[in-house]
Amino acid sequence: MKRRESLSLLERLYIFEVIKGVIQTSGHLFKHFATFLLRTIGLMKNTKPWATYEYPDEARPYAERYRGRHRLTLNGDGSMRCTACFLCATACPAKCIYIEASEHDDPQIEKFPNRYEIDTLLCIYCGYCVEACPVDAIRMDTGIHPEIYPPDPRAFIEDKETLMLRSRVLEDLGPEALFKAHMKKLKDIETKPFETDY
């Protein structure tokens, strides 16, 4: 920013600066208006004259490193990779991960999480749980933002099955399917409130 004493006489009169601002703003207005008119007659289809997104019909593309909703990753046989080591729960600054470990029937496996829950109402989406996991059992690479749940705090708790199903859908149908299903659910909320599965 220029210091006040270094402004020229014309700049200090302000009126010319105001006129410059009005011309610049009007230029953008007329440019976008002309683009809009051309689009209505079928031209310039690939140019968007507005900066907004028609959410939820149209979603803003997320950055590659966007931290989306959690998922518990799976082994090749569909079992969960988590070994119930509690490192994620220990690292979590919001203390919103609850794990109950149990002995596994398979003597080769020491223990597994009989219960694994994340209270997404408390979660601050910091990603520390992902960083802390030594076996890559939890990820936030779903590309979908937090769910809208009914006005009941208990509904925001995502359990083991929900977190595993998210991985299954992502692996079977791909991120696009997961994203589309998520956006459809958000659109359906007005007619069929709060029916969610993954």
Q: How far is the CB of 66 from ligand SF4 (least distance, A)?
A: 13
124 lines the binding site for ligand SF4 (CB under 6 A): yes
In this chain, which of 118, 144, 164, 178 binds ligand SF4, going by CB under 6 A? 118
* 71 strand-pairing partners: 139
163 lines the binding site for ligand SF4 (CB under 6 A): no
Distance CA 87, CA 118 (A): 14
In sequence order, what are the residues at sequence separation of 6 or more whose Cβ sits closer than 8 angstroms to the Cβ of residue 23?
A: none
Residue number, 99 or 178, with CB nearest to ligand SF4: 99
CB-CB contact of 129 with 70 (8 Å):
yes
- Tokens 């031209």 sit on residue: 43
* Distance in angstroms between the alpha carbons of the first and the last residue of the chain: 50
The H-or-E segment that residue 157 falls in is: strand 157-158
**What residues between 81 and 110 interact with ligand SF4 by CB under 6 A?**
82-88, 91-94, 96-97, 99
Distance CA 184, CA 187 (A): 5
Residue number, 94 or 155, with CB nearest to ligand SF4: 94
Hey, what amino acid is at 76? G
164 lines the binding site for ligand SF4 (CB under 6 A): no
Contact flags string 132-151 toward ligand SF4, x per CB under 6 A:
xx-x-xx-------------
Contact flags string 17-56 toward ligand SF4, x per CB under 6 A:
----------------------------------------
